[in-house]
Amino acid sequence: MFKIKVLSAALFLSASVQAAPPLNFERDVLPALEKSCFKCHSGDTKKPKAGLRLDVAKDMQGFEELIIPGKPEKSSLYTLLALPKGHDDIMPPEGKAPAVDEKAKAKIKLWLEQGAHFGSWEKYVNKKEKKLVSGLSGASIDTNLLVASSKIDSLLNEERQKEKLRLNPPVDEETFLRRVYLSVIGRIPSLKETVAYLKSSNKNKRIELISSLQNSEGYVSHNLNYWGNILRAQSNQDGNAEGVWFDFIKDSLRENTPYDKWVHSMINANGAMWEDPAVGFLRRDSRNRLAGYEALTGVFLGKQIGCAQCHDHPYDTTSRRDYFEMYGYIATAHPYFPQSKILNNLKGREMIKEVAKVHSEMRLKKPRFGKETRSIWLMAYLTLKKLRQRIVQSDKIHQSKFPVDYQYDDGKAGKVLIPDVLFGKSPALENNKEKAAPIFAKWVTSPDNLKFTYVIVNRLWHKIMGESILGPLTDIKSIENAKNPKLVQYLAELMVSLKYDMKAFSKILYNTRLYQSQAMTEDEFTIKKTFTGPLLRRMTAEQAWDSMMVLIKPDLDSELKDMKPDFDFYFAVTNSKTKEEFWDVMKKKASLKVRDRQNSNMAKMNVMMKKQGYVVSGFKRASEISQPSPAGHLLRQFGQADRELVEDQWANPTIPQSLTLLNSKMIRSISGKGSALEKALNLRSTPTAKAKLLFATILTRYPSSGELKASLAAIGNGDDYDFAQLSWALLNTKQFLFIK
């Protein structure tokens, strides 16, 4: 009787299994694998863990004991998922990806019991990414200014409708004027510029103002600050003698060099600074080349790989091997030129010894050139050092090796690595027949390298709207994880269609209804995650400085000129035919430097004040001051980057900032005796007109009737008004430091 009951139960269970409707792998099983397993086991990662891919049927069927039809308890596809929470072997590992839920586990088990049939499914294709498989090289969409800006607004509106949100009301002319000046040229408008714009009745004055500002030297100055922070460009770095790398960046901005060509020229730089100014990029980290490599991947490819320098990346698919494989492409760029070849007609090594000899004589107080010995020797020493500061691209491509402490089984310490990229198809290299740099530069900047385009689109959107659309600027998300993937894709295709014209792309964003809407706060964006206007922001240190400077010197930008570095000296040195000629060139240059120092150091107080920009000769835009500025300078107080890390500027309020705005001589001098503001005030006859002038000059708007009445009451004493006090008060409002 007992045997009959057992047999009946077994038959009942067997019938239940057979009675269950057959599962469809693509519909019932694949979604769980995509969600929890693809991060480590798919074609999305360059080297799938354990060599297993779960996005290809043949790979799954051929992997030992992964799938045993009819036996889920012996199939590791199921058994590793079914392990208890906290087990060392559970898949996916805790914290790496979302766990597979119980319903999904049951479906996977049943699918295995039913025979593990894949049906017609062969390979996973991400439907969201299907359009991007071939890259963006064929992108061709309408780039008309109004068409493109309208399309962007339309895509944003679709997102807002889903979230049941509305676009903020449009801004008035005063707010737009101040915002666009700060966005495009990095300072507030002068009084003259404000009055001219607000008086204009031109219906297209917004479009025309944007174009005018983009074609000004102020645009170059502001964007030198912006890109200088990204590229970590410093005044005293290798490869920036005479400011040549700064000049290269300025020229690129002034000439509107397409972004892809600009980046290509920096990665592919070769030679001395006066031969190829772009070498400043590769020379920036000549003493720590891996730091430059990591900055390159973050800035141009939107991928942080620093962790993988020492170990496999804990939160990404980048392995330590990946890190050093791609480094092979730029490891061939040597940062120094042989000493023996730095002079065309003289032996470089002998001249270096000669300089050392002069140094010895100087220390023994036996000057060969009288009182100028020290200046001449220093000039010779520094010049010979700079002559070696070249980028020499080697033909030998296999320069990267596994580090001596390599700890993984997929490589051997010290073994040469063949260059390979982190994602996509690696560009082909033939041993010792061609340089790696141009090939790598072409791969990085190709429209088919989706990340390259997504990064610059994300960066410019963040710069103009105040927040990114694709995650952190140097560690972007994949497009399917974007809040508005349609918008990101459209912007990427637009950038390619514009042939990477950053100025044209930015102009389109400036002309969107979104940009010209009232601002939203950061807290609002954090809650909504959707743009209803650009974000309210605090001025950067450079914007604050330049805005104060234009109050002191309204024609500030008239001094921004295309001043080219003079390389005649370096050519004279390298082509010196005799030692005597060499030393004559040095002596002449050293004497000029001494005179320059004497002229600029007329008095100790003048030097001190000039550092702070408090004397007329020091009233310059931030881009024209040493980068970064000295410690204690107003720029550093307000968050200027020291440019050791990519974009390490900050905008937090501090007590020293408040004290500077309240008490510093520069703030007092803005409306002090003989200032531009005082002269403008003297031309107004009534207290009302004078108060309106201060509002228009400092806040780029006229006061309301209530503000006007309260202001005059606060500073008035009978017929005597302290307008210097009013200007001081306006400068200390949040309205001055924030971009509405």
3-state DSSP call for residue 123?
A: strand
Q: Which range in 176-185, 336-345, 357-366, 467-476 is most confidently predicted, on average pLDDT? A: 176-185
pLDDT interval class at 737 (50, 70, 90): very high
pLDDT for res 432: 55
pLDDT of 284 higher than 50: yes
Give the mean model confidence (pLDDT) for residues 119-129. 66
* Stretch among 66-80, 126-140, 429-443 having the lowest mean pLDDT: 126-140
Pick the closest to residue 651 from 642, 643, 639, 636 (CA basis).
639
Distances (CA, A) of 61 to 236, 646, 740: 60, 46, 59
pLDDT for res 618: 65
pLDDT interval class at 430 (50, 70, 90): low
pLDDT for res 480: 82
What does the DSSP assignment read for 506-565?
HHHHHTSTTTTBPPB-HHHHHHH-S-SSPBPEEPPHHHHHHHHHHHH-TTGGGG------
pLDDT for res 33: 87
* Stretch among 79-83, 520-524, 610-614 having the lowest mean pLDDT: 610-614
pLDDT in tens, 583-599: 899 888 887 765 454 44
Mean pLDDT estimate for the chain: 86
Partners of 717 in beta bridges: 720
pLDDT interval class at 17 (50, 70, 90): very low
* Stretch among 6-10, 123-127, 269-273, 730-734 having the lowest mean pLDDT: 6-10
Give the mean model confidence (pLDDT) for residues 617-646. 89
CA angle 304, 295, 491 (to 5 degrees): 70
Q: Which range in 114-118, 363-367, 484-488 is most confidently predicted, on average pLDDT? A: 484-488
- pLDDT > 70 fraction of the chain, expressed in percent and rounded: 89
pLDDT in tens, 331-379: 888 888 888 889 999 999 999 888 888 777 766 666 555 556 778 888 8
CA 460 to chain centre: 9
pLDDT for res 613: 45
d(CA 324, CA 329): 9
pLDDT in tens, 529-568: 999 999 999 999 999 999 999 999 899 998 888 888 878 8
pLDDT for res 4: 44
Please tell me the pTM assigned to this model: 0.80
pLDDT in tens, 292-304: 999 999 999 999 9
pLDDT for res 72: 87
pLDDT for res 372: 61
pLDDT for res 609: 47
Partners of 537 in beta bridges: 739
CA 519 to chain centre: 23
* Stretch among 119-128, 175-184, 434-443, 707-716 having the lowest mean pLDDT: 119-128
Q: Which residues contact 117 (CB under 8 A, 6 or more apart)?
A: 22, 25, 111
pLDDT interval class at 88 (50, 70, 90): confident
Pick the closest to residue 393 from 313, 336, 451, 466 (CA basis).
336
Rounded (10°) CA dihedral 179, 184, 187, 188: -40
pLDDT for res 64: 83
d(CA 328, CA 323): 9
pLDDT for res 394: 82
Q: Which range in 381-390, 660-669, 729-738 is most confidently predicted, on average pLDDT? A: 729-738
pLDDT for res 129: 38
pLDDT of 672 higher than 90: no
pLDDT for res 14: 46
